[in-house]
Amino acid sequence: MKKVILGLSGGVDSAVALVLLKENYNVKACFMRNWDSLTNQDVLGNPTIDNPICPQELDYQDAKKVAESLGIELLRVDFVEEYWNTVFKYFISEYEKGRTPNPDILCNNEIKFKAFLDFALKENTDYIAMGHYAKKGYIDGKAVLLRAKDKNKDQTYFLSQLTEEQLEKALFPIGDLTKKEVREIASEYNLSVSNKKDSMGICFIGERHFNDFLKNYLPAQKGKIRTLDGEYIKDHEGLIFYTIGQRKGLGIGGLKEYDLEPWFVVGKDIKTNTLYVAQGYHNEYLYSNKCIVKNVVWRGSRDLNRQFSAKFRYRAKDTNVTLKWLDEKTLEVVYKDKERAVTPGQAAAFYSGEVCVGGGFIDTVYMDLERRKY
């Protein structure tokens, strides 16, 4: 039997993936520790959580119960240093640039399908497996990433930047199941996590407020909130706390000289520390029809003379796009149907039908020839 090591997270999805793998593989499970939750502080000495028991440690206890109930060996591997250097430093540097990064995608690229894969190969393993909602298929003998059966849970957006080599070594056991079916299997096997809620938010922040966490690493400099015409509205608390399209937390309302429509973030200027806002969910400045995507990982033929769609955020609808290579890892992405709040720092995932062919990070955003202040 082929050997597999599954990343067991302590959630129901990876637990059911373990159940399914047992039938056809010689399988072990492994819990990845990516953040120094045991000391309640990071490598700089900043506190990482408010609670005495970190959710990560509770997840480990859940993973341990699942592995024991199924008679599977559970390993525990420490990727704290790798996570800090390849994920967290990037996360902070992007905020410094006024962008809105997605650490989950980088965690997949650098930790789960790189550091963990390297660890597994040293253990003489044939494959690694994850509890992601995605499928792997083959076209012309090469591994391809396919959308999951459960379109509401499909996670190919987060896996879009895996290389062909990483994908070749990966298994996604629950890709042909719905979330409902996953929970039914968990209940059938009396798994302790059968009714556990899905994890939300960013793992290293724990129970603390996101803005409070960022203040440990980035100095928040107050600045001016202005309209696109330059009219001063009030001061902001720091550009790092705002993202394009944001409505909550602006504290703007009841201004006599303006109508009652809600205000939204529509731009940032790092040089002047200015936050730009405008009224209306469908304000025209929130829309674009072109963006430049960099650091693209592409799988399969690089011929772009076919129909493609893109997702500019998780669970967003597919947008038909025209792609053009600007260099080896940079794409010009044009979308005739305008899109709202396409945000630098976020990922763009590209599809050809059901196949996710690649992805990269949004760099600049345009409406026709005008570059947005994003």
Residues 190, 170: Cα–Cα separation, whole Å: 27
- Residues in contact with 90: Cβ distance below 8 Å, sequence separation at least 6, in sequence order: 101, 103, 106
DSSP annotation of 21 reads: H
Is there a catalytic annotation at residue 356? Answer: no
Q: Are 30 and 63 in contact (CB under 8 A)?
A: no
Structure tokens at 213: 């966490």
Residues 338, 204: Cα–Cα separation, whole Å: 35
Of the candidates 313, 229, 236, 312, which has an alpha carbon nearest to the alpha carbon of residue 270? 236
The conformational region for residue 61 under phi > 0 = left, psi -120 to 50 = alpha, else beta, is: alpha
Structure tokens at 111: 């930790």
Is there a catalytic annotation at residue 30? Answer: no
Q: Which of 30, 203, 291, 356 is catalytic?
A: 203
Q: Are 156 and 147 in contact (CB under 8 A)?
A: yes
How many C-alpha atoms does 299 have within 13 Å on its Cβ side? 30
Q: Which of 30, 107, 291, 356 is catalytic?
A: 107
Which residues have a catalytic role annotated?
107, 203
